[in-house]
Structure 1
């Protein structure tokens, strides 16, 4: 009996206490057994059982009790073995799960009973198995999302060669999907914007989609378009091609509009008729281009029918360019057809060519011609101010103009020499290119400037001598 009590106490572990119910029950069991043996002895005494028979019966009682207690001990030992085996299995599972889940090794608490340790390890195994299931489930969800994005963007799937990823790997996978989703949205926005531009270009060019890719872009639903890098590149190339065609179309239309405006002016087309056509004077569409071509042809025909009027208009324009370019009489006479009176298509063509040549010459050297014009206007203004400065009645002015005129005169006297230096450099370049002198009023420009300054000095000297008593 004492051995059973010791076993019970051992199973209780470090939390031994004499007042525990299990100990009290053990003591009561011993007392109960002793009481039963006393009663048996009393019964045997009353019956008159011999000592030999009492010994036999007591032996049987002992065997029965020992057998029962041994059976119970065997069962408890078996329970202990199962608990220890479970602990060993749980430890192995925990080690494998920690490795598989990329978690630190589990530290067991000290001073635990076998039962507490087995329950604690088994609970931890269940928790980690649940974590494993959750990670695998999330991995499947992430892979499904990744495959959807890969199908849209035509990119390879995210590589993760593990059945159970770590928390860090799952986080990296989620960040990858975020970037892929952002790229998808960026490409979708780019596609929608580019598609609108393509559609507008096709409308302007009256272009009908004639390739499978163009039909996919124009007619397919936006969500169905494949947003691969190759397709996005092809989309940009298509837009670039269409924009180049539209730019060329616009360039051609601009040239025709310029011709139409010139012909309207030369043919003196009524304003009402010009306004009726003004709707076609903007835009690069093919329809507008055809209207412009028709108008050019109509005006060219009118030009041929009114050769005298058009040629005279060209001559007025030529005179304007000759004046702007400071052409001498000799240079003007070089165009010998200016005074021809027999108006023919050939004569018209000659005047058109001369206009083009003079226009190009003027545009090429516009800075020089504008500079000379500016010098002439400034010199003319200076002469007027000098004349006013010599006027004896100038002090009668009370409006403040005298001071303003004097400041303006001083400013011109400072500005003109600088302008002359700049013009001298440009004229030297012009003369080297044209292989002739740059003439103004029959003189080389710098000689002309010197002559004008000398005349001004002589005039000032003359005035001073007249005023001197």
Structure 2
């Protein structure tokens, strides 16, 4: 057994790098020999003092020699063993290093040259420890990823990632595996959100349908915990299919409920059910759950039974609806009379069934061609409005309207005059397409729509022509009356308040009035409103009247002639804006309205008629004055 000091020396030698051991070891060897010699000499002296015989001295010296020899041999053996351990460790570490490098897919460690065995073993051992740590790190990371992948595979029902759990993965493999886990996690979150949305909709649909989960899959979806549901593609597809089925049932229920509601509303109206009785049923008229559907079905059954007890009233109500749809579909008299049961007075269940079938047919016919009927209805409304505006355009009171109504009406009439042909063109294209598709004619009130439109325009033209002829006839008659009775005919100038005149106009009025008394009886003058006053012929005064030396003033002498006095009163009344009674004066009427343009639709027509009327009156006045003078 080695002493403690030797073990310490051995440990020190193992940890010390001897760069140049030869000189130092020789000194130590010389010191060892010197110590040995000194010890032997000391032993010899001790033995001599003791008096140990020579033989025993030899024996004792031999023992010392053997002891030292054994000790040195043991020490050499220990060092040889140490050397073997170092060599073995180097070999083992080298083998382990090569294995780790192969597993970790790393290049083999290149050993340094010219170093001691101890340093070589230390370097290799350090490298092996580092490689072992890297291997352990990778394996732990792989283990964690495998656990995550297994959890995701269990939830998503997908295949595990293709990597061996007992092999050391490379950094690239670990990175790819990690990316796969991220993708799977994203897919899980996406499917989970989709699952929650589908589950919410399915739950709502089941509540609306009063549907209780029956199959195990439906129970798993509605009753089980969300985290335990398998988010496989098949399950997501099955969820969508289940939702689609429930949605179809919901739509079907809603359609049934809506049909029943329409039927109930129809029967309520036909049977004249009071509002109090209807309001009790309000809940079922809005919601479409299973119990609502059952309640609606029961109500329809009850009303149908009640309908059979009130066949006449119900039939009359259906006939009213049929008449409304006849108007909407523009049916002609012949088309309406073609439905003979409408005019039957034998109220039976069969007659009611025929009316039900007819109203359904009319509703379907209207819905199928609603766009065309709406277009025709739009044309009808526009045409009526156009005719109203055309009629207003001939109204003489339109010039006295305030607020810009005349301008608005003219603009609206102009827009309609432009838009009506465009609408007719659009309807023509739609009707042509419809007739080509249906292989029959599109009729409005028993005739083709375009023919109907042409007739309306032709009637409008004839009516305008008739009105024009009536205006000309009326103006001619008015002109004759004016020439016969001296009625004033005024043309409108700039509109101002009645009774207001300018100083110049007043002066002209005074001059014209003064000259009227001294001028010829059939002369003409301008009124304060810009109109022409035509004087009727009066008898010439007797010759004795010319003997007066000085002209008479209007305020002295004999009163004016009754005829002249009536005319003057008429003129004064016109200037003041008030009517004057008398046999020779005609009352103000809408036909006259102080204007010859009261029946003119445009300003140019008004000017043309005014010119003709003025020329005619002047010619008649000249002829009358000539006849009277003669």
- Normalising by the smaller structure, the TM-score range is 0.7 to 0.9
Question: How much has 1:262 moved relative to structure 2?
Answer: 1.3
* Among 369, 376, 381, the residue aligned to 1:365: 369
* Counterpart residue number, 2:276: 272
Closer, same or farther: CA 27–375 of 1 in aligned 2, 3 Å? same
* Counterpart residue number, 2:547: none
Measured on the aligned residues, the alpha-carbon RMSD in Å equals 4.0
What are the residue-to-residue correspondences of 1:20-419 with 2, within 5 Å?
A: 25=28, 28-29=31-32, 32=35, 72-109=75-112, 112-161=115-164, 163-168=166-171, 169-419=173-423
Question: Could you tell me how far apart the structure 2 residues matched to 1:176 and 1:12 are?
Answer: 51
Unaligned runs of 5+ in 2: 1-11, 50-59, 473-599, 601-608, 613-630
**3-state SS, counterpart of residue 162 of structure 2:** coil
Unaligned runs of 5+ in 1: 1-7, 47-56
Question: How much has 1:349 moved relative to structure 2?
Answer: 1.0
Deviates more, 1:317-326 or 1:32-41: 32-41
Question: How much has 1:311 moved relative to structure 2?
Answer: 1.0
Say if 2:462 is the partner of 1:463.
no
For residues 36-85 of structure 1, the C-alpha deviation after alignment (integer angstroms, 9 at most, x for no partner) is 68879999999xxxxxxxxxx99999998777656544543442332122
Larger Rg: 2
Q: Would you say the 8 A contact 1:135–1:164 is kept in 2?
A: no
* Counterpart residue number, 1:438: 443
Q: Would you say the 8 A contact 1:101–1:164 is kept in 2?
A: no
Question: Could you tell me how far apart the structure 2 residues matched to 1:200 and 1:44 are?
Answer: 116
* Counterpart residue number, 2:524: none
For residues 80-105 of structure 1, the C-alpha deviation after alignment (integer angstroms, 9 at most, x for no partner) is 33212211221111010111122332
Matched residue pairs, number? 457
Question: How much has 1:203 moved relative to structure 2?
Answer: 3.3
Deviates more, 1:402-411 or 1:64-73: 64-73
Closer, same or farther: CA 436–120 of 1 in aligned 2, 3 Å? closer
Question: How much has 1:189 moved relative to structure 2?
Answer: 3.8
Q: Would you say the 8 A contact 2:90–2:120 is kept in 1?
A: yes
**3-state SS, counterpart of residue 330 of structure 2:** coil
What are the residue-to-residue correspondences of 1:443-454 with 2, within 5 Å?
A: 444-454=448-458
TM (normalized to structure 2)? Answer: 0.63
Question: Could you tell me how far apart the structure 2 residues matched to 1:459 and 1:176 are?
Answer: 87
**3-state SS, counterpart of residue 277 of structure 1:** coil
Closer, same or farther: CA 451–223 of 1 in aligned 2, 3 Å? closer
Q: Would you say the 8 A contact 1:430–1:438 is kept in 2?
A: no
For residues 250-280 of structure 1, the C-alpha deviation after alignment (integer angstroms, 9 at most, x for no partner) is 2111111111111112222222221210101
Closer, same or farther: CA 397–196 of 1 in aligned 2, 3 Å? closer
Q: Would you say the 8 A contact 1:84–1:114 is kept in 2?
A: yes
- Name the one with the larger helix percent: 1
Question: Could you tell me how far apart the structure 1 residues matched to 2:444 and 2:234 are?
Answer: 64
Question: Could you tell me how far apart the structure 2 residues matched to 1:322 and 1:285 are?
Answer: 37
For residues 377-417 of structure 1, the C-alpha deviation after alignment (integer angstroms, 9 at most, x for no partner) is 21222222223333444333442222222221221111111
Question: How much has 1:130 moved relative to structure 2?
Answer: 4.0
Closer, same or farther: CA 448–246 of 1 in aligned 2, 3 Å? closer
TM (normalized to structure 1)? Answer: 0.82
Closer, same or farther: CA 225–455 of 1 in aligned 2, 3 Å? closer
Question: Could you tell me how far apart the structure 2 residues matched to 1:314 and 1:282 are?
Answer: 25
Closer, same or farther: CA 292–30 of 1 in aligned 2, 3 Å? same
